[in-house]
Amino acid sequence: MKASEFITESVKQRLDPKCWKGKHKEGTKIKGGVRVNNCVPNESKELDEEFDLIESIIDTLAERNQVDAETIWEDLESLTDDELYVFATTTPVMEDWQKVNKKDKTDGMSKKAVSAYRREHPGSKLKTAVTTKPSKLKKGSKSSKRRKSYCSRSRGQMKMHSISCAKTPDKAICKARRRWNCE
């Protein structure tokens, strides 16, 4: 008697014609001395659809940011499972915050433009201008500090670029400084 015949006789077989719902047969295995079907879960169609969605999102991001899609895939490998889930379930916003701002015709960034920017750049801490008059702000409050900081930064930009708001009041920086109540 050959060894292969000995093994087949000593192993009982219980091979069902089909696997149960949601499973399919991929060969056989020996379980507790009995040869049984190796039933594995079917790959979900939903999983394939989600992967296709991720691929299309990455292609879109690569196109918009003028980078290679492979670079984005490499960056995704560094994410945790939770971060990947958030990436996969959130749809990209194809909204240009600059267009929104131009439509509003607001000096500086409007509330809608800031919302659009934050949707495009998740995690951004951008806020709208502090439009409250300086006399109404409490000294040392967060708002007054933000206003003071913006005014001094924009004054530095004006000096660096030799911009005079008296001569060119329609410049974007002059409009923004008026909105922030700088001088």
Segment 90-138, tens digit of pLDDT: 655 555 777 777 777 777 788 888 888 888 887 888 888 898 999 999 9
Predicted pLDDT of residue 120: 80
SS3 assignment, position 28: strand
Distance CA 74, CA 171 (A): 42
pLDDT tens digit string along 45-86?
Answer: 566 777 777 788 788 878 877 888 888 888 778 877 777 777
Could you report how far apart the first and last alpha carbons of the chain are, in Å? 103
**Model confidence, pTM:** 0.46
At residue 20, what is the residue type? W
